[in-house]
Structure 1
Amino acid sequence: MDAGNHAERSPTRKPRRRRAGATAAICLAGLTLAGLTLAACAAAAPGPTATPARSTSTPPSEAASAVPDGPETIAEGLQAPWSLVFTAAGTPLVDERDSGRILELLADGTPREVGRLDDVAHGGEGGLLGLAVRGEQLYVHSTAAGGNRVQRFALEGSPGSYSLGEGTTLLDGLPSAGNHNGGRIAFGPDGMLYVTAGDAAQPPRAQDPDSLGGKILRMTPDGGIPADNPTPGSLVYSSGHRNVQGLAWADDGTMYATEFGQDTWDELNVIVAGGNYGWPTVEGTGGEDLGFVDPIAVWSPDDASPSGMTIAGTTLYLANLRGEVLRSIDTDGFAATELFAGEYGRLRDVALAPDGRLWLLTNNTDGRGDAREGDDRIVAVPVP
C-alpha cells in the first residue's frame, strides 16, 4: 500500500461492521500541553478574540419544525462531491471535485448549476475542494495549474437562481500534488478565514517556516494578513500538519481540526495560535517533550480518515472516509461514539443544516469507494 496516500484510499478489505453507538477505540486525555490537561487546554486557548459571528452550533429554531425523525435522502447523483455549505438564506451549496461545478439544491433536492470553474486542475485528491460563505460572497479552495488557491466570488441572484460573479484570487501558489492538498476553508468566530494547506506529499514543508504547506492559514476576508497572527507578516496560524480537512469552533471559541495520518494515527486536535503539531517528526501523540502539541484523540487510519467536521452544542461530528462512519466526540471528556457504520459508505463532509439536522455528504464515486445506486448523495439525519 502507498503509505503516502493511504489515508484517503479505499481499504483493501471491507470495513468491519460496527454497531452504531459502539464506543470507538481511541487514545485520549491524560496528556498535557504546557502544563495543562488537554480538556483544560481546549477551554483555555481559543486563539484571538473578536466580536463573535453568529454561532455555527445553533441552527435557527424556526427551521427545525416539521422535519422527518429518521434519515432522509436530500439529493442524489452527485459526482465526487467535496464540500457542503449553506448561504445566508439557508440554501445548500455543494461542489464536485473533478467537474469543477458548484451546485445549489432546489427545494425538491434537484441540483442546479450555479457556476463552473473551468480552470480547475483535477487529479488524485486535487480539484474543486472547500467552500465557505460570508454574506453574499462565496469563497472557494481549488487546485489550478500553478498550485492550490483561494478565490472569492460574488454570489449573485437569489435562491433558485444563484450565479457566480467575477472571481478574485486572494491567495495562490499553495503547494499542490496528487494528494495531501488540505482544502478546507471556514470562517472562525473572529470573522477571519481559515485555510488548510496540506504538505502536498512533501513532509518537510510542514516544519519549514518559509513554506505555506503543512499549515493552517488565517487571513482577513479580503485575503490580507491579520495583525494579530502569531508571526507578524505571515499567514501561518499553526504548523506541523500533514493534511487537515476538518475545521470547527465551539461556542467558547475553541478551534478543532481533523488530520489525516500516514501509517499509524489519524488525529483530532485543538488548534492554538502558533502551535506546532509535530508532523513529520511525530505522528499522533508523544511530541510534547519536543515542544509539539499532542492531539486530543487518535484513530487507526483503517478506522477513520477524518475529513469534514461540524459541531452541534458540545458535540463534534466527524465524517470519515476509510472508516465509513460518522463519529461523534463529546467535547466534555472526549468520549467517542460511532454512528451509521458502513450504511452510506465513505463520508466526505458533514454540516449542521438550518433545519437542525446533520447533513452527510458521501464520497463513493471518485474511484476509491464502492458506488451504490444513487451515489453520491446527501443524507439528512437527526442530531443524535
Structure 2
Amino acid sequence: MKHQIVLLLYIYSIITLLSSCNKGNDTILYTIDLGNSKISLSQVAHKLNIPWDLQYDKTNNCIIFSEITGNIKKLDLKTKKISLLKQIPDIFHQRTTGLLGMTLFQPHQQTQYLFISFTTKHNGNIYSNLYRYVYTKNTELKEPKLLLRIPGNTGHNGSRIIIGTDNKVYWATGDAASDNYAQDSTALNGKILRINIDGSIPADNPIAGSYVYAWGFRNIQGLTQAGNNNIYTSEHGDAVEDEINLISPLHNYGWPLIEGRNPPKSNLALSNQRTFSPPIRSWTPVIAPAGLAYYGGSRIPEWRNSLLLTTLKSQSLRILKLSEDGRKVTDESILFKDQLGRLRSVITAPNGDIYFCTSNRDWNPQKGFPKPDDDKIYRLRKTDEVTGSIIRPVKAEQKEAEQNISNYPISGKALYESYCSSCHKPDGKGIPGTFPSLENSTTVKGEKKVLADIILNGLKDKAIKGVKYDTPMPAFNFLKDEEATAIFNYIRTNFNNQSTTISINEFKQTRKN
C-alpha cells in the first residue's frame, strides 16, 4: 500500500510538472513597480518567425499578427494556441521588406476587413502594396482586393496602417530611399495617405482628388490615434533625429530638407519659404523607434494619456507621457532596455492589457540575440501580486545623461557604441551584404582623408572590395571635430586595423576641404 501511495504521488508530481510547463507562457517574468500600481510582464507566445504587427480582435479575443516572411497568424489569448490564417502569396522578403503593417476594421454588425501592407517584386522593380481582405467572424481571410500600389525599395517602405475614428484608412508610406518623393505632394511615397474603406479617395481630403494627407516623411515605423483624434507617428531619422510627430492635414514634416529641430540643410527650404512642422519629441543618438500605441485607459493610471513606443536599436519600451491636449511630450521613462531584445510592435487591449513583440530573428540581431525561443509576444497587465524580479522604469533624462558624452572626456569607444555599433556591430564585423566589416579593412587602414570623408559625408551606391552594399551610410557631419576625430581614431586602432591616428587639426582641415 505504501509503495502504491508513493507511486501515485510520483505520477501526480509528473503531471503537475507537465501542466506547469504547458502553462509556462503565463509565468510572470518581472513585476514593474510604478509606485501606486504594479504591472506584471508575462510571455504569451514564443518561437515566432519575426512578427511585425499585432492587432487585437475584439470579436474573438485574440491577437492577429503578421510575420515578415508572409504568414498571418492568430493567437488565442485563452488557450495560447497559435494557428495559421493565411499565407500571403508573392511576398518579396529581403531584410526589411516583406509582410509588414496591418489593421483590423470591425464595425458593429457590418463586414469586417483586415488591411495589410506588403512588398512585391516584378520585373526587377519593388512595390509596396495595400490590400484589403474580408475578415469573417471565424477569422477567415477571403476576397483579397488591391487598393493601392506604389514604388518600394529594399528599405524605407514605412507601411503602418490604422483605421481612424472617422472610419478612414491611414497608410504611412516610406520614401523608398529616394530624396525626390517626400517633398513632392503629387507622389504617394513619404506620406500619410487617407483612403476610403473601398480604396477610393475621400471627398473631404485636404487636397482634392489626392490621397495625400500629410508629407515630408522618411520612414514611418509607428502610427496611432488618441481618443481626442490626435494622430501620432514614430519615424526613423538618418544619422540624427528619430522623431515622434503629431500629424495635421497639409502639414510638411521636412524630410529630406530638415531633420528634427535642426536648421534646414540648405537654402532651398528657406528660399521657397516652406513651413515645416517640428517633432514633439526627437532623439540623437537615434534609438530606432518602431511600433506606437496610445494608452488612454485608467487601468494603469500612471500611464493614462501616454504613447507607448517600442524601439529596435535601444531595445526598450518607452512611455511618453502627453500633455492633456496631446500636443507635447511632458515625460519619458524606459523599460526593458537590453533585456528582451529588439521590440517591434505594441498594442493595447480594451481591458487595459498591453501586448508587444520582439523582432530578434530579423536582419539586424543585437548582441546576445536571438535566444533559442525567439521571437516572442509579451503581455503587460496590472496586478496586485509581486512575482519574479522587481524592476522600475528609468527616467529618460537620467538614462540619457549617463550616455551624454559631452559630460565626459571624449571617448571614441562610447561614440562608436552610440552611433556606429548597431550597424557595424560592437566587434566591427558588420552584416554581410548590408553593412561592411571594419575588421582589417583596407578602406579603414588606407588614406586618412578617404575615411574622414566617409564619416563626414556618408557612402551610397559604392562597392567595397567588389561588394555593393544595399544600405547607404548616412553623413555624420553634425559631429563636432573632437567627436568625429575620436570615432576616426577608434576605428583606425581597433578591429585588427592598428593604423596611425589623425589629429583634430588634420580632421578640421579635411572637413574644410
The answer (yes or no) to whether the contact 2:54–2:346 under 8 Å persists in 1 is yes
Instruction: Note if contact 2:158-2:173 (Cα within 8 Å) is conserved in structure 1.
Output: yes
- Superposed, 1:1-384 pairs within 5 Å as 69-89=39-59, 90-98=61-69, 100-106=70-76, 107-135=78-106, 136-146=112-122, 147-158=127-138, 162-172=139-149, 174-286=150-262, 290-302=274-286, 304-313=287-296, 314-332=305-323, 333-334=328-329, 335-369=331-365, 370-382=369-381
The aligned residue for residue 56 of structure 1 is none
Kindly provide the amino acid, as one letter, of the partner of residue 300 in structure 1.
T
CA distance in 1, matches of 2:154, 2:212: 23
1:287 Cα offset (Å): 5.8
Measured after TM superposition, the shift of residue 301 of structure 1 is: 4.8
Distance 1:235 1:182, change over 3 A: same
Match of 2:429 in 1: none
SS at match of 2:347: strand
Q: Quick one: distance in 1 between partners of 2:358 and 2:93?
A: 19
C-alpha contact 1:21 1:337 (8 A) present in aligned 2: no
- Is the helix fraction higher in 1 or 2? 2
1:79-122 C-alpha deviation (Å, 9 max, x unpaired): 11100001231321011012x10000123322200011021111
CA distance in 1, matches of 2:147, 2:338: 39
Instruction: Provide the secondary structure at the position in 1 that maps to 2:378.
Output: strand
Please say if residues 33 and 39 of structure 2, whose CA atoms lie closer than 8 Å, have aligned partners that are also in contact: no
Length-normalised TM-score, structure 2: 0.59
Matched residue pairs, number? 314
2:215 partner letter: S
In structure 1, list runs of 5 or more residues that go unmatched.
1-19, 23-67
C-alpha root-mean-square deviation of aligned residues, in Å? 2.0
8 Å Cα contact 2:182/2:216 also seen in 1: yes
Question: Judging changes above 3 Å, is the alpha-carbon distance between structure 1 residues 183 and 272 closer, same or farther for their aligned structure 2 residues?
Answer: same
Q: What is the alpha-carbon distance in structure 2 between the residues aligned to residue 265 and residue 69 of structure 1?
A: 31
Shift of residue 262, structure 1, vs aligned partner: 0.3
Contact 2:95–2:363 (CA under 8 A) maintained in structure 1: no
After superposition, give the CA deviation of every residue in 1:301-356 in whole Å (9 maximum; x if it has no partner). 54x21111101121000110111011111111511111121221101110002342
- Quick one: distance in 2 between partners of 1:21 and 1:269? 29
Please identify, of 283-292 and 178-187, the stretch whose mean Cα deviation from structure 2 is larger. 283-292
Counterpart amino acid of residue 329 in structure 1: L
Larger RCO, structures 1/2 (Cα 8 Å, 6+ apart):
1
Deviates more, 1:187-196 or 1:284-293: 284-293
In 2: Cα distance, 1:127 partner to 1:233 partner: 30
In structure 2, the residue matched to 1:11 is none
User: CA shift at 1:228, angstroms?
Assistant: 1.5
TM-score by length of 1: 0.78
